[in-house]
Amino acid sequence: KRKEDYKLRELRIFLRDICRKLASNRRFYKFTKPVDLEEVTDYLDIIKQPMDLETMMTKVDMHKYNCAKEFLDDIDLICANALEYNPDRTSSDKQIRHEACSLRDHAHALIEVEMDSDFEIECQDIAKRR
Ligand SMILES: CC(=O)c1csc(NC(=O)C2C[NH2+]C2)n1
């Protein structure tokens, strides 16, 4: 095991905790699982790269994230997808857009508060080398 592998293990432990906290917040319920393509039949016509919190937890376990920025890029993707798929002036579209923006802001704020900035810089250097 190299020194940087221990850093990436610490990153995975941290990101699992962030993912758990977001997925347990009822406000973000719609983003916890992949959109059901049998219910929402036109989803893939509009959204080319679906993302959700359960998929992100699996990606943590599969060592797909080498720094918190890569994790936040997928959070931003969840949000952008929801804004794109729900653009209308209806209250249901407005509500899901609000929930999506809240997920994005909560995730960024949680990581900002809980993550040592030097640790993220070290992880981003590892990410660059891989
Ligand atoms: C995850 C996501 O963006 C999502 C799941 S259902 C949905 N939208 C609707 O069901 C209708 C409300 N206007 C269309 N958006």
| Pocket residues: Cβ below 6 A from ligand 1 | 30-31, 35, 40, 81-82, 85-86, 92-93, 96
CA 55 from centre of chain:
9
Average pLDDT of the residues in 83-92: 98
Residues 48 and 85: beta-carbon distance below 8 Å: no
pLDDT score, position 77: 99
Q: What is the DSSP string of 32-63?
A: SS---TTTSTTHHHH-SS---HHHHHHHHHTT
pLDDT score, position 33: 98
pLDDT score, position 80: 99
* CA proximity to 67, closest of 122, 1, 6: 122
Average pLDDT of the residues in 85-92: 98
The mean of the pLDDT values for the chain is: 98
109, pLDDT greater than 90: yes
Q: 86 CA distance to ligand 1 centroid (A)?
A: 6
Ligand 1 atom showing the smallest separation from residue 100 Cα: 3
Residues 100 and 7: beta-carbon distance below 8 Å: no
pLDDT tens by residue, 6-17: 999 999 999 999
pLDDT score, position 53: 99
Q: 124 CA distance to ligand 1 centroid (A)?
A: 34
pLDDT score, position 1: 80
> Ligand 1 test: best mutation among 40, 52, 74, most atoms within 8 Å of CB?
40
pTM for this prediction: 0.97
pLDDT tens by residue, 38-48: 999 999 999 99
Average pLDDT of the residues in 73-79: 99
